[in-house]
Amino acid sequence: EMTPSVNIWQENIDQSKDSTSSAGYSLNALVTKLTSDNYFDVDFTLALLRTHESFTTSELLLSKLEERFNVPDHIDPEKKKLIRFRVGTVLKNWIQLEDMSPSVAELVVNFIDTSMKPSELNSMALRLLDLVSETSKKVTNQSPASTERSQVAAPPSVPIKINPNETIYVMNFDPLEIARQLCLSTFDTWSLIRPRELFNLAWSKPKLHDRAPHILRMIEKFNYVSNWVSCSILSEETLRNRTRLFEFHIKIAQCLADLKNFHLLMAFVSGLNQSSVSRLKWKKSKLSKPSER
């Protein structure tokens, strides 16, 4: 049970629990474990920071860290200093994840200015402020297109030369080049997806759409490509042209599979299997054997 209304120092927390498990912990207990003066578990810290929005909010988690930082006077001075240091370490890890919203980052800066700087952790507070500034600039100036690609596909075949006086037709181009351009068109959005967008099915709940903007854009792209595939086939008037275009889309899908872009691959599969395409009066026997498979 999460207990946001109870001050973290007022809740009776059993710190003798198995440190390898967090089952049944309240939010206060989780934060106490996160900033324990007995041990510091980096894996647990990163896991909680990455997943906390599935059970609480960033604002509430930060408020609990502030409560934990304000150690009561009856606590041993050395223990007090260590707990505060743990809070600072948690903030450092949180900032370095580069997954903090601007509003939360502003609250963090305010906490550092008003609570950490006047304390014995002044030097740590200054380093954290510099880290927040550096991270904010990095995220703001981030260019997804400059992100390193682990693999680059071989250059595509030279596309058919197009007469500028003629209408450009999709089958004038090499399927691999079309697949590559489709991958590039989604890479910027895909590279901006943050772990917090994946929690609580935010993309499927209108009131949580603001938490998953990039996933929603990927969904829009999926639907657009899927509809384009089916509409392009339906726009052909002859059976021969529909068959040729159907096979061409299969070739693009195969290239997408080779490029490991399963998102757009499934968009093509969805478009090829739409009921409007399936209802057309044509036989699979018209397809070549490789396409039929």
Q: What is the pLDDT of residues 3-44, one digit of tens each?
A: 567 888 887 766 655 555 555 578 898 999 999 988 888 999
pLDDT over 70 at 50, yes or no: yes
**Dist CA 76 CA 270 (whole Å):** 64
pLDDT over 90 at 128, yes or no: yes
| Res 54: pLDDT | 81
pLDDT over 80 at 289, yes or no: no
Which one is predicted more confidently, 201 or 262? 262
pLDDT over 70 at 141, yes or no: no
Work out the pLDDT band at 1, boundaries 50, 70, 90. very low
pLDDT over 50 at 229, yes or no: yes
Work out the pLDDT band at 162, boundaries 50, 70, 90. low
List, for residues 188-205, the tens digit of each pLDDT value.
899 888 887 888 888 998
**Dist CA 25 CA 175 (whole Å):** 54
Each residue of 49-78: b (16+ CB within 10 Å) or e? Answer: bbebbeebebeebbbbbbbbbebeeeeeee
| Res 291: pLDDT | 58
pLDDT over 70 at 172, yes or no: yes
List, for residues 84-120, the tens digit of each pLDDT value.
999 999 999 999 988 788 889 999 999 999 999 999 9
| Res 282: pLDDT | 61
Mean pLDDT of the chain: 84
- Taking a C-beta distance cutoff of 8 angstroms, is the pair 242, 233 a contact? yes
Work out the pLDDT band at 65, boundaries 50, 70, 90. very high
Instruction: Tell how far CA 267 is from the center of its chain.
Output: 20
3-class SS letters over the chain: CCCCCCCCCCCCCCCCCCCCCCCCCCHHHHHHHHCCCCCCCHHHHHHHHHHHHHCCCHHHHHHHHHHHHCCCCCCCHHHHHHHHHHHHHHHHHHHHCCCCCHHHHHHHHHHHHHHHCCCCCHHHHHHHHHHHHHHHHHHHCCCHHHCCCCCCCCCCCCCCCCCCCCCCCHHHCCHHHHHHHHHHHHHHHHHCCCHHHHHHHHHHCHHHHHHCHHHHHHHHHHHHHHHHHHHHHHCCCCHHHHHHHHHHHHHHHHHHHHCCCHHHHHHHHHHHCCHHHHCCCCCHHHCCHHHHC
| Res 238: pLDDT | 86
| Res 35: pLDDT | 93
| Tokens read off for 292 | 């039929």
pLDDT over 50 at 145, yes or no: no
Work out the pLDDT band at 66, boundaries 50, 70, 90. very high
| Res 239: pLDDT | 86
Percent of the chain predicted with pLDDT > 90? 48
List, for residues 147-157, the tens digit of each pLDDT value.
454 455 566 66
Work out the pLDDT band at 146, boundaries 50, 70, 90. very low
Work out the pLDDT band at 123, boundaries 50, 70, 90. very high
